[in-house]
A and B are shown apart, each in its own frame.
Chain A
Amino acid sequence: NAGVMQNPRHLVRRRGQEARLRCSPMKGHSHVYWYRQLPEEGLKFMVYLQKENIIDESGMPKERFSAEFPKEGPSILRIQQVVRGDSAAYFCASSSYPPYLAGGRSDTQYFGPGTRLTVL
């Protein structure tokens, strides 16, 4: 399966602990996006990364949240000192080209199965 992979699929943390969510993009994709989906809500953009660069983090909460996409290995979304309000499904997506390529035409984003975070 050459799709976007995320792990773990389910993660349970107690308040104050750290959560690390991992995303491996599709083969050949070097652009990664993180979204959060709260119950009964649509997906909300969090951050867009390329290898070793954060391109757009306008959707990231100012505190406790960080993301990286190192030269080697998966992209990591890190949530420090989790609170109950962080409970949600976190989805990663990837694309093969930057979205501004080819005269404004956007390459499509392909989503992973998500990580469901529960904070007790």
Chain B
Amino acid sequence: QKEVEQDPGPLSVPEGAIVSLNCTYSNSAFQYFMWYRQYSRKGPELLMYTYSSGNKEDGRFTAQVDKSSKYISLFIRDSQPSDSATYLCAVGGTDSWGKLQFGAGTQVVVTP
């Protein structure tokens, strides 16, 4: 069983729609949660960082963490074609400092 599960997609949405992405994880020791965006043949770019449970909002992006169900989400409002990319969730915890566990990534396509 993978530590982090993420639907690979692709997820296709029309411009202006809300993009909803999620990951599940198996280890309750994970305490910090991140979302990265990766354009084709580029390095991952940090979008959101959350420590423990709760919501965090930054512009058009909202990250949610539910530690009781080991479920993390990313929402992108008013999606743009420039949001077309692969979105990677990543988790880390006190039992493996510095060792981020990544999901496989969800490919998102926003159509004009």
Contact = CB atoms under 8 A, between A and B. Distances in A.
Partners in one complex: yes
Interface of A: 4, 31, 33, 35, 40-45, 48, 55-56, 58-59, 91, 95, 98-100, 104-106, 108-114, 116
Contacts of A116: 41
Contact of A99 (B49, B88, B97, B103): B97
Contact of A42 (B32, B88, B97, B99): B88
Interface residues of B, number: 29
A91 B98 CA distance: 14
Contacts of B102: 35, 42-44
Contact of B45 (A45, A95, A99, A111): A111
Contacts, number: 75
A108 B96 CA distance: 14
Interface of B: 4, 6, 8, 31-32, 34, 36, 41-46, 49, 51, 88, 90, 92, 94, 96-105
Contacts of B43: 4, 91, 111-114
Nearest to B48: A108
A33 B98 contact: yes
B42 to A, nearest CB: 6
Contacts of A31: 98
Nearest to A43: B102
A43 B44 contact: yes
